[in-house]
Amino acid sequence: MTFLQARAEDVVELKAWLQRDGHKWLHHRSQNEILELMATTVSMEIIEDIRNAEYCSILLDETSDVSRIEQVSVCLRIVSEDLTAKEHFISFFSTSDTKAKTLFDLVEEIFQKYNLPLSKVRGQCYDGASNVSGNISGLQTRILEKESRALYVHCNAHNLNLVVQDAIENMSSARKCIGILREIINFVRDSPKRIAQFRNLQIQAENEGEENLPSLAAYCPTRY
């Protein structure tokens, strides 16, 4: 509330709202409900756009978050009547594992939830991991069993990353440079004291007028 009052000093509309005698809707539960309603409205508009499209493609990738929980991102790509491509992010989904059957069950659950038939799918885009690209029991094969016209394509972004990664591995100077940077990042991140020193250096640089300072992001190799 204090932050809102401070912000209201130069926002006339907010000041008038805080001076209301009736409901102000400032409780965190009310705000969470409003946000959920807004998210639901946006999601329904996206799903309606997908329903109106004749065909769609599915894009799926998975990774673990900082709490080591597996997160699966799902997007659906459509083409409108004027041949404009649209890529809609559906949501992140937590899974106990990333086996092909688990991911296939997740895809089926999503399509059933939003009343979308799998017969609309004409494309699949994943990385090259066997759980999604496998020709025997991978996700793309399981979807092909349901819709034989859902062509699988290896994600170009993953392909490019793998090409660059392999090229660097064949250049000793670049490989050593990346290896040293990775070890320095891990060395700093493994110690709260060193992290505090790094942040102090960032603050000093900001005070001297430097901009776009680098962050201490962990090295993340491309997965197949």
CATH of the domain at 77: 3.30.420.40
User: What are the tens digits of pLDDT across the range 118-127?
Assistant: 999 999 999 8
Whether residue 102 sits in one domain with residue 65 = yes
Judge whether 48 lies within some domain: no
**170 plus 194 within the same structural domain:** yes
Q: Are 56 and 121 in contact (CB under 8 A)?
A: yes
pLDDT tens digits, one per residue of 151-174 = 999 988 888 888 887 887 788 888
Check: pTM over 0.85? Answer yes or no.
no
Is the CB of residue 222 less than 8 Å from the CB of residue 189? no
pLDDT tens-digit map of 74-109? 999 999 888 889 999 998 998 888 899 999 999 999
Based on the structure, what is the number of domains in the chain?
Answer: 3
Look at residue 59 and tell me if it is in a domain.
Answer: yes
Question: Could you tell me the residue range of the domain that residue 83 belongs to?
Answer: 54-154
pLDDT digits (tens, 9 = 90+) for 174-217: 878 888 888 888 888 888 888 888 888 888 888 888 777 777 77
- The answer to whether residues 64 and 32 belong to one domain is no
Q: What is the pLDDT of residue 159?
A: 83
Q: 150 and 192, same structural domain?
A: no
156-164 long-range CB contacts below 8 Å, 24 or more apart? 158/127, 158/128, 158/222, 158/224, 159/128, 161/222, 162/128, 162/222, 162/224
Alpha-carbon radius of gyration of the chain: 24
Read off the pLDDT band of 222 (50, 70, 90): low
- One domain, residues 133 and 80: yes
* The two structure tokens encoding residue 75: 């997007």
Residue 47 lies in a domain: no
d(CA 110, CA 78) in angstroms, rounded, equals 16
And the tokens for 65?
A: 């978050």
Q: Which pLDDT does position 31 carry in this prediction?
A: 79
3-32 b/e with 16+ CB inside 10 Å = b? eeeeebeeeeeeeeeeeeeeeeeeeeeeee
Three-state DSSP class for residue 112: helix
Q: Are residues 65 and 83 in the same domain?
A: yes
Residues 64 and 138 in one domain: yes
What is the distance between the alpha carbons of residues 47 and 53, in angstroms, rounded to a whole number? 10
Angle at 178 between CA 176 and CA 181, to 5 degrees: 110
Confidence class of residue 219 from pLDDT cuts 50, 70 and 90?
Answer: low
Question: 32 with 72, same domain?
Answer: no
Q: Is residue 49 part of a domain?
A: no
For residue 142, is pLDDT > 90? Answer: yes
167 lies in the same domain as 203: yes
